[in-house]
Amino acid sequence: MPLRISDELREKLRLVRESQLRRLREGLGEHDYYCQELMSVNGVHVCGSIGFDIYLTFDGRILASKDSGDPKRDHPPRETSNIAWIALGLSTLSLWANLPEVLEFLPVRPTDVAPCSLCGGVRFQDYPDGSKQACRLCHGLGWGEPTFRDY
């Protein structure tokens, strides 16, 4: 089910997308694949690493793509309902784009479930060098241990 994105958030996301495309175009060649993939998505790139990328579309869908190095197993961005991918994407977006409001799209911790044992329910981990990232255990959900599964 798509997230209900307000007009105000959609405008902020459009500015993020413009910035992403501008940076990618400036470094074309090295990032040509990523630029093409982002241009195929009507939204923003929210998270990625070796083997995957996550996007939030302007109409509220979370998309994930897979790049395993094996064309038979790879796929272009497609919608996912997997909470691990969604939590990682939204929590990462909230950090690097300074959009804490996207965390409101994540489910609230049930009262009978303990907060994440690694981050204490705050969704993020701080590092000695001052950097911060989504918790490695709950992936930014704040509770549970969601499992990454097929997109």
pLDDT in tens, 32-71: 566 678 888 999 999 887 778 899 999 999 999 887 555 5
State how far the Cα of 121 lies from the Cα of 142, in Å rounded to an integer: 4
Handedness of CA 74, 75, 76, 79 (dihedral sign): negative
Q: Which residue has the tokens 């307000």?
A: 6
β partners of residue 61: none
- Residue 112 to residues 62, 79, 107, 138: CA-CA distances in angstroms? 28, 30, 14, 16
Q: How many residues does the chain have?
A: 151
- Residue 84 to residues 58, 81, 127: CA-CA distances in angstroms? 20, 9, 22
Q: Stretch 91-99: mean pLDDT, rounded?
A: 95
State how far the Cα of 52 lies from the Cα of 59, in Å rounded to an integer: 21
Looking at residue 28, its pLDDT comes to 57
Looking at residue 65, its pLDDT comes to 87
pLDDT at 23 over 90: no
Q: For residue 33, what is the enclosing H or E element?
A: helix 32-39
Backbone angles phi, psi at 91, to 5 degrees: -65, -40
